Amino acid sequence: MARNLDVFKKRALEIAGDITAWRRELHKTPETGIHTPSTQAFICAELDKMGIPYRKDVGGGGCTGIVALIEGKNPGSGKVFTIRADCDGLPIAEETGLPFASANGCMHACGHDAHSAIALGAAKIIKENAGKLEGRVKILFQPGEEGNPVGPGGAKRMLDDGALENPRSDVIVGLHVGKLGEGVGPGEFCFRRDALMACMDRFEIVVKGVGSHGSTPQNSIDPIMIAAQIISTLQTIVSREFSPLVPVVISFGSIHAGSAFNIIPSECKMSGTIRALKNDIRKTLAKRIGEVAESVAEGMRGSVEYDFNWDGPAPVVNNPEVAEEFRKVAEELFPGDVVELENPLMGGEDMAFFLEAVPGMFCFFNTCDPAKHKFYHHNSKFDFDDTILWKGSAVMSAMAFQWLSDHK
């Protein structure tokens, strides 16, 4: 290591109370989608107090993304280290009973309030030491990670609006709180050197048939029966077209048809998701789902309309060199608290858009103590230990300084 990184750990611990307080303030007023104006106002106010300039409303079309920039000892020069934090919530009514619980019908049930608080803590530490910084640090506060009802989510929008440009980011890092890795203890960081999470794509199938009275099925082309056969047959793609050693998921989340118990409807609408760890498998799945659905429907005298939505993120794939640099920094700061995961998760994250654009890494930070928290995710009772968030700020700020020093 080029320096003693304990100074970042010490300072992060000193401002631990601020980091926890930021998280709790954000938790009170969660907002969903790409338009999070109150969240943006809070973050910008804290950046103003730190004297950190920023560009807001990054992403356009109502997207309230923020790109903050901290100049180093030689302003306008040097490489650019980037920290990404998402900041949107979910349309879930909170049931935690916490004194700072949300009362607006939405909830930070995925920890994005903590991600923003950790990023603010890192920003404060980096700004205080900017005179020693060998380069520049960008911090992205991104809404819309949980998706957007119309069009792309926040990461894609911010990327298209130049979030990684002017100056161009050279590397990007991010983390996720909660308990997302198996066998990981409280306060531990877990990472992988390659694929960490899967793609997160959505598809829709509309089965077209001919309706009739339930008592005369011979007069129908039953779309419900066709849909059932499609659902069953599509699982053979997973079991017969890919090796059992290759992680592949096809899941249906909704199926809607009909309006009465005794009427066979004329159409059936279904939607689902695929998960894969490689883009070539993702493309194969998108193609084969349509082919199988069409052939099954045709064989049963019906037809289908098939749409695969490519707005979802690709697999989250870490750069091995950046992952190793993260491991070294985190291990030096918190010996014994860094775990390399054997297996990836099949959940998705739009951090993938940024990782496709520049090298980087994404990791998990276990903030759940099983003695205090039963783990819930995307759940009305989601909670964790926010008094240890300072550890995330320590690692992010220390890694920024270390990476820029090593790559100047």
Structure tokens at 254: 């909704």
**Residue 312: partners with Cβ closer than 8 Å, 6 or more residues away:** 199, 200, 201, 202, 348, 350
- Phi and psi at 70, nearest 5°, equal -110, 120
DSSP string, 347-401: ---THHHHHHHS-EEEEEE----TTT----SSSTT----GGGTHHHHHHHHHHHH
Q: Do the beta carbons of residue 246 and residue 274 sit within 8 Å?
A: no
18 is annotated as an active-site residue: no
User: Which residue, 187, 108, 191, is CA-closest to 371?
Assistant: 187
Q: Exposure of 10 by Cβ count < 10 A (0-12 exposed, 13-18 middle, 19+ buried)?
A: exposed
Sign of CA dihedral 208, 213, 214, 215: negative
Edge-first strand order for the sheet with 65-71 is 54-58, 65-71, 136-142, 80-86, 171-176, 360-365, 189-191, 338-340
88 is annotated as an active-site residue: yes
Q: Do the beta carbons of residue 381 and residue 97 sit within 8 Å?
A: no
Sign of CA dihedral 318, 65, 168, 80: negative
Q: Exposure of 379 by Cβ count < 10 A (0-12 exposed, 13-18 middle, 19+ buried)?
A: middle
Catalytic residue of the set 71, 86, 88, 161: 88
Catalytic residue of the set 71, 113, 145, 201: 145
Distances (CA, A) of 307 to 202, 205, 227, 286: 9, 7, 15, 9
Q: Do the beta carbons of residue 123 and residue 139 sit within 8 Å?
A: yes
- In three-state secondary structure terms, 294 is helix
Q: Do the beta carbons of residue 329 and residue 5 sit within 8 Å?
A: yes
Structure tokens at 381: 């009772």
The whole-angstrom separation of Cα 283 and Cα 227 is 23
Q: Exposure of 243 by Cβ count < 10 A (0-12 exposed, 13-18 middle, 19+ buried)?
A: exposed
Query: Residues with catalytic annotation?
Result: 88, 145
